[in-house]
Each structure stands twice: as structure tokens, then as C-alpha cells.
Amino acid sequence: MATDGVSLSLKLPCVFSPKSRQYLAVCAQDGRLRVWNTDSKTLHQEYVPSAHLSATCTCVAWGPCRTVKEGPQRKKRKSEAAQVEEKADLLAMGTAAGTVLIYSTAKGSLHCTLDGGHSGGVNCVHWHPEDSLLYSGSDDTNIVEWDLQTGKTRSKWKADRAAVTSLCVSPDGKLLLSAGHVIKMWDLETKEVYRKFTGHSTAVTTLRFATTRPPDSNGLYFLSGAAHDRLLSVWQVREDGKDKNSVVSFTLTDEPQHVDLITSSSKEEAVRLAVVCKDGQLHLFEHFLNGPCKKPLSPSCSVQMSDTKESPMPIPLLAAALGADPRSVLLAYGNYLQPVMENAEINTAERHVCLARDLKTNLSLSMETTVSKVKTPIVNAKSKVLIPGLPGHKAPVVSAPQGTEKRKKDAGNKEMSIAERLGEIDLEASSSQKGAPKATASLQTDNYAVLLMQGLESKDANILNKVFQTRKEVEIKKTVARLPLPAVIPLVEELTTRLQGNPLVACMMVRWLKAVLVHHTSYLASLPDLVTQLGVLYHMIESRVKMFHKLTKLHGKLHLLTTQVRGLKSSLKLFFFFFFLSQHWEEEEAMQEDEGDEEDEDPDSRTEPKANGDEDMEHENESEEE
């Protein structure tokens, strides 16, 4: 919101307790549950779930009021027993890890944990008005019926092809509404589809029954609101089954974020409706549901809040609850960390009402009252406090202890800081590499959606570098899938800036960009200013695609050149081989010729003595003849 000082406006669960509206339950972005007392305007309780950073709370629903035994009490008389007041006690919280936590405000601790029913994140929870049953819808497209007495699943069935984003049980406890893109009405006894309603193009986020009449009398109505939709549609459950289109539409300034209504029990009784939109405005409606209405209905009164500065800034409204008096409305405004509760008297005769409040003074007062109820003595600068020890030593002024005794006991259990969690991510990345020594990581998670959100909000390069170094495709897909929609555009902008850097980093960023386009294409296509927001990425991709053709040509030429060089090297090797071989052959032939010449010279020398001997013999013969 505007006053939160963050760039991303996220829808956080914020619900008033039923009937008395005594408590306001808020699930913060860090996963902590804070229960505020609307009477004293102070923090009543705070609960920190284990592993709250990896499994954030996605939805909250108060259970029906019941009698709570807070401890051993004396036996009451019959007259006193009849005056026992039922209080809101149990609070159901769905988490992104697929579990459902049941928190008890009377005990101030976790009542039980419901797990094993969903394989995806829980998107919605809703209580049965009479029985101790709870219904939950998840990303795994299933609806689970939980039995709180045993803490186990009572039944489970597939609701739709898409994720179940909203649930609502009828006031009589016989019908159940579930919605993704299609709204289905189930018979809880047979678990079969009773009716189907189509009319929303995006995921349905709000389902509420508007009347308490039975469906057989054509008097059962319910309303629905969807993401990025500025209309609340009212549907009629007809006996003849001709209920394909909505009968009434309420116009809003933005998509609905919190809806509160007072149901109608007859045609003569109007339905009162209070809707807080995403832009921080409150719209009040009052209408008699008796058949279709052609034109969309505008709000009877719109409420805005602003501060008291010279140039007033708007203060966002978080939630609103209608009272018995039509002019009385319980408001929660400011920010989620420190909301301000106020019972405001609104003049509904005016179409537009602007309430001016000094938000800083209200915050400072509420912060001082929420620290502790223990009063500390005011020590002046002139006064001296005598304590055992050295003379002249001044005693330090001890501030009031913060928190309860229970929190002191749990002080030994230190939570992991963000730096330690980033270290665990480093450990997982190093252990996944080949040849790295195996190390045991204490952080077990399959996505880093919360860390990525914190890095995008704070623009911390260290956190973003640690998250983006993940190379597992499954973890990247789950992280992007569980990322809220307002964080998609900042993620795309961060990826665009990183794609323009080092090519090795760009290769890793392409995996993240692919996951974003696979999971959030429909959301990106629905944005009106998509061309201006993604213009840089489009031009960069277009320029690189044009360069890709030239690079492929260059790659082909280089490949041809390298193959020719390799062939030339092999031919040179063969040439030199045959050259040396021919030289060797020539040397051998020369050697053989030399040996032949020597042999030719030897027979000549042998014939000479023979010739001399012949001459001698001739001389001897001549002498004998004489």
C-alpha cells in the first residue's frame, strides 16, 4: 500500500472476528499472525509459525463462536450458566506449503496442524457453521474436508481442472461453493455438483452467500468477485436451473479486497454490503434482492481517508465491518504492521465521504500502549538512585520488559536470520556441483518465493544473487509459480537488466524468464501498459534474434574452416610421412647400388691372375715346342 513504503502492494489476509468484532487477525508478509483487540486498540497476541519464511500464510478464517473454558472455575448456578457468552476462539490459517494451522486465541498457542491433505499451497479455508468441520481449497485442484476432532481428512475430491481459489459454505451447512474460473455448487452429503455458474474471466477471489433462504424457493443468492475485475456479481439459484447469468452487478473502483455483508432472510429485507477495494476505498451498498436488474448498481456511499497535512495523502483502508446501526462501521486502516481500528459514524446520505485522520499520532499512541502494562518510574536528571556498588556509580535506567513470560522462555530457540538462510542456499548450490564435498543443510525448502520477494522489495543485490544462482529447474518453477502477481513485473525488470550483462549470467536469467512466461502469461497479457513496461526486453530480444542469423552463418563458416584446417593437417602429416618414407627408400637403394659396384670390381681382379697364369702356360708350351 501507499503507506507501507514498499513498491509492491500485496493482498494480505485481514479478517474481523464474527459477531462481536472484538478481534482483528492480520497475517503479515513475514508469516507472523497478529491478533489486535479492536476495543483497546492494542496488540492482543502474536504467533510466529515455525519455518514461516518458507511457508507463508495465504488465507485466514475465523471459526464459529463457541464457549471456551479458560481454566478451572467454580460451578455456576443455573441462572448464570444460561448467560454464558460464546466467544471467537479458533482461527484457521492456510499456508503455501499445503498445511492448515489451527490457532486458539483462548490458549494463545497452536491448537493443531492439519497436513497430508494437499500437495500444493492452500488458497482458501472456510468453516462449517454447525459441525466441527473445515474445508480447504488448494493449487492441486482438490477440496479437503477436515474433521477437527480427529485432525484428519474426512473426505477429499477433485473440484476443477484449475486451482481452487475460493470457498464458502451456505448458512444451513448443506451446500458448498467452490471457484477457480468456474463457480460450482456442491451438495455436501453426496459431494456431487448441484449447479455451475460461469461469468468470470479471471480467478474468483470472493464468494459470499447473500441470503439465508432455501434454494427451492428461488430466493437463494450469492455474490462473487474476481481478480482484476471491478464488478461484484450476484447470482440467483433458481429451482428450474435457468441461472446461467448473474442477476445483479455492483460497480467498484478496483478489484475487491475485503467484503463484509449482512444477509437477508426475506424479500422485504435488504442486503447491506461493505466492500474495501485494492485502491483503499470503501463502498457501501444496500439492495433488495428480488429478481434480475439490468443496469449495474453504483455504491450508495463511498468512503476515503486522508491525513491532515497541507497536501493530504490518501490513507488506505484495510478492512471494514458493518454494525447493527446502518451508520456505524468498524474500520481498519493504515498499514498491516500497525493497523488503526476505529468505530466511525458515516453519513450515508452523502455519496462521497472523506475522513481526515492524523495517522502518526494514532500510531505513536498505539505503539506505546502495546509495549507493556508494567509502569516504570520516571527518573529525572537531578535525582540519584542508590544501589550497592562503588560510590558515585549511577544505575542504568531499565526499560520496560517487552513481551510476555512465554516469549522469554522461547528466547533460547533462536530463529535463523536471512544471512544464515542465504548461507544455506550457498551450501545447497555448492553441494550440487560435481566433486564438491557433501554437506548437510538444515534448511529444507523447494522454493525461494519469500526471499525473492524480500530481495525485490529491498533491491538487495546479495539476496537476489543468491536466489538467482539456483540451477534446479523444479525450484525455479515453484518459486515463480508461488510468486504473487504484483511481483511479476519487478521480477521481469530485474531479469531484463541482468540479461544485458555477462553472457554466463544471461544464460541463467533465461531460465527464470522462461518460467515467468510459462506461469504468468495470462496475467501479463491482461496488463494495459504491457508494451511500455516490457519494451526494453522486447527490443533486446528482437536485436539478439536478428544477430542470431548472422552468428549462425559465422558459426558455419568457422566450422568449415576448422574442418578444413584439420583436413589440411592430416594431409600434411601424410605428405611428410610419404616424403620421409621415399627418402628412406632412396637411401636404401643407394646403399644397395654401392654394394653391387663393389661386387662388380672383385671378378675383374680375379680374372687378371687367371690371364697371367694363361700367359705363363703359353710361355711354357712355347719352350717345350722349342
CATH number at residue 102: 2.130.10.10
Q: Tell me which H or E stretch contains 625.
A: helix 535-625
d(CA 180, CA 123): 10
Q: 506, 527, 548: which is the final residue of a domain? A: 527
Same domain, 256 and 136: yes
Say how many CA atoms lie within 13 Å of 64 toward its Cβ: 13
35 is a domain residue: yes
Same domain, 37 and 138: yes
CA 117 from centre of chain? 20
Please report how many Cα atoms fall inside a 13 Å half-sphere around the Cα of residue 148, on the Cβ side.
22
Burial class (CB in 10 A: 0-12, 13-18, 19+), 212: middle
Q: What pLDDT sits at residue 406?
A: 46
For 467, the 3-state DSSP assignment is: helix
Per the structure, the complete domain to which residue 466 belongs is given by: 448-527
Q: Say if residue 312 is in the same domain as residue 178.
A: yes
- Apex CA 257: angle with CA 252 and CA 259, to 5°? 80
With a threshold of 0.75, does the pTM exceed it? no
| pLDDT value for 458 | 85
Q: What pLDDT is stored for residue 164 in this prediction?
A: 93
- Examine residue 6 and state whether it is found in any structural domain, yes or no: no
**Rounded Cα–Cα distance for residues 159 and 177 (Å):** 10
Query: For position 379, what pLDDT does the model report?
Result: 55
Length of the chain: 626
Q: Which of 450, 435, 376, 330 is nearest to 30 (CA)?
A: 450
Task: Kindly report the number of other CB atoms within 10 A of residue 124's CB atom.
Answer: 25
- For the chain, list residues with pLDDT below 70: 1-11, 29-30, 50-55, 67-86, 214-217, 360-446, 594-626
- The conformational region for residue 386 under phi > 0 = left, psi -120 to 50 = alpha, else beta, is beta
pLDDT for residue 263: 87
Q: Is 404 a domain residue?
A: no
Per the CB < 8 A criterion, the answer to whether 92 and 124 are in contact is no
Say whether both 481 and 346 belong to one domain: no
Quote the longest CA-to-CA distance of the chain.
190
Write the CA distances from 363 to 205, 229, 310, 337, integer angstroms: 31, 33, 20, 10
Task: With respect to residue 167, please indicate whether it lies within any of the assigned structural domains.
Answer: yes
Q: What is the pLDDT of residue 136?
A: 94
pLDDT of residue 616: 52
Does 237 lie in the same domain as 342? Answer: yes
Instruction: Determine the pLDDT at residue 443.
Output: 45
Q: Is residue 116 part of a domain?
A: yes
Residue where a domain stops, chosen among 357, 380, 402: 357
Has residue 46 been placed in a domain? yes
In a domain, 608, yes or no: no
Instruction: Let me know if residue 419 belongs to a domain.
Output: no
Q: For the purposes of burial, counting CB atoms within 10 Å of the CB of 388, is it exposed (0-12), middle (13-18) or buried (19 or more)?
A: exposed
Query: 496-533: b or e for each residue (b if 16 or more CB lie within 10 Å)?
Result: bebbeeeeeeeebbebbbebbeebbeebbeeeeeeeee
Per the structure, the count of domains in the chain is: 2
The DSSP H or E segment spanning 134 is strand 133-138
* Helix or strand (DSSP H, E) at 135: strand 133-138
What is the 3 state secondary structure string of 58-123?
Answer: EEEEECCCECCCCCCCCCCCHHHHCCCCCECCEEEEEECCCCEEEEECCCCEEEEEECCCCCCCEE
Instruction: For residue 291, give the C-alpha cell.
Output: 429478481
What does the pLDDT read at residue 359?
75
276: closest CA among 293, 298, 297, 252? 252
Cβ-proximal residues to 177 (8 Å cutoff; 6+ apart), any chain: 166, 167, 168, 169, 170, 183, 184, 185, 186, 207, 209, 222
Query: What is the pLDDT at residue 441?
Result: 43
Shared-domain flag, residues 165 and 33: yes
Out of 500, 527, 554, pick the residue that ends a domain. Answer: 527
